[in-house]
């Protein structure tokens, strides 16, 4: 599924996309979920971005579990933050107006149990101008967990 490339500080592992459509993820074992979310929000704000959406996925799944016949708690924590970069979005959409489908850009984070690693990442993007966006997402994600 995911190919692990390197380990940082023996507790933080980078996993990269094995295929073009796989997400890029970082698994973190030496920080709490709250610390990682705080780091992500700060990374976005420090980059001059506005968080346009904050989806509380774990809360939604837990709240609707009984209504849809669910029996398991999927995540103890799970959120997706959405945002846009005017500069990168303009370049991407000038190159191809269909790149609108990637906006807003998103970074997700989740933890399945209180003892499991925190996973933070983003979707892989297509070649070309969208790779500038992917590099930006990677920088933000790495900033959030203190790798840069």
Q: Which CATH number fits domain 3-144: 3.40.50.300, 3.30.310.70, 2.60.40.1510, 3.40.50.1260?
A: 3.30.310.70
pLDDT given for residue 21 in this prediction: 79
Structure tokens at 108: 């997700």
- The Cα 137–Cα 130 span in angstroms is 11
Domain boundaries of the chain, sorted by first residue? 3-144
- Output the pTM of the full model: 0.87
Q: What is the dihedral sign for C-alpha 146, 79, 45, 88? A: positive
pLDDT given for residue 15 in this prediction: 53
Rounded average pLDDT per 10-residue block, the chain, 148 residues: 35 52 95 98 97 98 96 97 96 97 97 97 97 98 94
């Amino acid at each position: 599924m995911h190919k692990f490339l390197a380990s940082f500080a023996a507790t933080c592992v980078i996993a990269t996309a094995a295929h073009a459509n796989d997400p890029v993820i970082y698994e973190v074992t030496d920080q709490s979920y709250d610390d990682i979310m705080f780091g992500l929000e700060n990374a976005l704000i420090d980059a001059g971005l506005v968080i346009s959406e904050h989806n509380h996925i774990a809360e939604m799944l837990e709240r609707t579990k009984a209504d849809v016949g669910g029996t398991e708690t999927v995540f103890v924590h799970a959120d997706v933050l959405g945002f846009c970069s005017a500069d990168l979005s303009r370049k991407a959409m000038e190159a191809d107006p269909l790149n609108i489908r990637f906006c807003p850009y998103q970074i997700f984070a989740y933890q399945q149990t209180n003892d499991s690693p925190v996973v933070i990442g983003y979707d892989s993007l297509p070649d070309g101008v969208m790779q500038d966006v992917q590099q930006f997402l990677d920088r933000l994600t790495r900033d959030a967990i203190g790798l840069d």
